[in-house]
Amino acid sequence: MNALTNLLKIRYPIIQGGMGNISNAILTAAVSEAGGLGTIGSGTMTPDEVEEIVKETLRRTDKPFALNVALTVSPYVRDILSLIKKYNIPIVSLSAGNPAPFIPKLHDQGAKVITVCASVKQAKKAEAAGSDVIVAEGYEAAGINSALETTTLVLIPQIINAVNIPVVAAGGIGDGKGLASMLALGASGVQMGTRFIATKEAPFHEKYKQRIIDASDHGTVIVGRTVGKIRRVLATDYARKLLKYEEKGISLDDFNRLTSEEFHRTGALEGKEEEGFMNGGQIAGLIIDIPTVQELIDKIIIDAKGQLEKAYLLFK
């Protein structure tokens, strides 16, 4: 047990991050049942759509899970946050925006608040606003990223030095060595996205899982830099098409339209690689199998333990 697992009432310090409009109850519940913390992301889904996922998750697990709201992405922030009280959801994860206006009410409702940050400044502000946990996400991560482009390895220790609440490392973690390395840096746990896509339970298209397995160490690209919107995706034909549009000069409105959640679902759920995108992190290059969530988490814990014991022997 550590500060994070005690606070969130979970067995292992492993969080599955929110996944926008492809979030679902099956994966969320599987991660919580396996001893980690599953998260329902809300993306641009309506409150009714998110509520259905919450209800199904509650049917599938009685273990803690979290609800993520990307504050500048969701058009329904307050309505979705009202589900916290209605369903007694114990943990909220807030990303892509300022959490301060929401934290006091969420605390009054008994929820713990995780804030996703990409800089020391954001983390200090989130702590001052009352956040209980920081997820520090580096530039390796899948999906919408900070324009600051700071990598996990350098971000984590700097945020740990700056705040006094548990810090969870996200971006580029996919196995037990990754967990061990982040614990050695002083993190209280890890949040993963890409690794959880290639699991048996994840109800995503088989092509999406296969593309993660096929990916090499440079199997992802950043799209959106030319319009100030950073998103890491698998290097598919659709991603290459977006980069070509950017080369020619694309407007922010057109870029937003072509990377809207509709095209996320087309790529990730329908497996149409030329018509929609597939979020993916740089750690995809390490992923070579499709285990169950339980097998994955058990192996990560055993391997992290082995790795830390090996490192300990070096200094004995």
Q: Which residues bind ligand FMN (CB under 6 A)?
A: 17-20, 22, 41, 43, 68, 70, 95, 116, 137, 140-143, 170-173, 191-195, 197, 279, 281, 283
Least Cβ distance, residue 163 to ligand FMN (angstroms): 18
**Token representation of residue 113:** 């608040």
Min separation Cβ 22 and ligand FMN, Å: 6
- CA angle at 117 for the pair 147 and 61, rounded to the nearest 5°: 125
| Smaller CB separation from ligand FMN, 172 or 176 | 172
312 SS3 class: helix
Measured CA distances, 260 to 45, 229, 266 (Å): 12, 12, 10
> Residue 204 and residue 213: Cα distance in Å, rounded?
14
**What does each C-alpha distance from 154 to 125, 169, 185, 193, 302 come to in angstroms?**
19, 11, 10, 20, 26
Q: Where does residue 74 rank: exposed (0-12), middle (13-18), buried (19+ CB within 10 A)? A: buried
Minimum gap (Å) between residue 42 Cβ and ligand FMN: 7
Nearer to ligand FMN, 165 or 268 (CB): 268
Nearer residue to ligand FMN within complex by CB, 57 or 68: 68
Can you read off the two tokens belonging to residue 85? 């009280």
DSSP string, 294-307: HHHHHHHHHHHHHH
The CA distance from 47 to 76, in Å, is 7
- CB of 8 within 8 A of CB of 37? yes
**Nearest approach, Cβ of residue 52 and ligand FMN (Å):** 17
For the bound state, the minimum distance from the C-beta of residue 174 to ligand FMN, rounded and expressed in Å, comes to 7
Nearer to ligand FMN, 50 or 170 (CB): 170
Which residue's CB is nearer to ligand FMN, number 5 or number 191? 191
CB of 270 to ligand FMN, least distance (A): 14
Judged by beta carbon, residue 36 or residue 43, the one nearer ligand FMN is 43
Rank residues 35 and 171 by Cβ distance to ligand FMN and give the closer one. Answer: 171
200 close to 293: Cβ distance less than 8 angstroms: yes
Least separation in angstroms between residue 142's CB and ligand FMN is: 3
* Cβ density class 110-142: b for 16+ within 10 Å, e for less: ebbbbbbbbbbebbebbbebbbbbbbbbbbbbb
Q: How far is the CB of 137 from ligand FMN (least distance, A)?
A: 5
Q: Based on CB atoms, which residue is closest to ligand FMN, 37 or 163?
A: 37
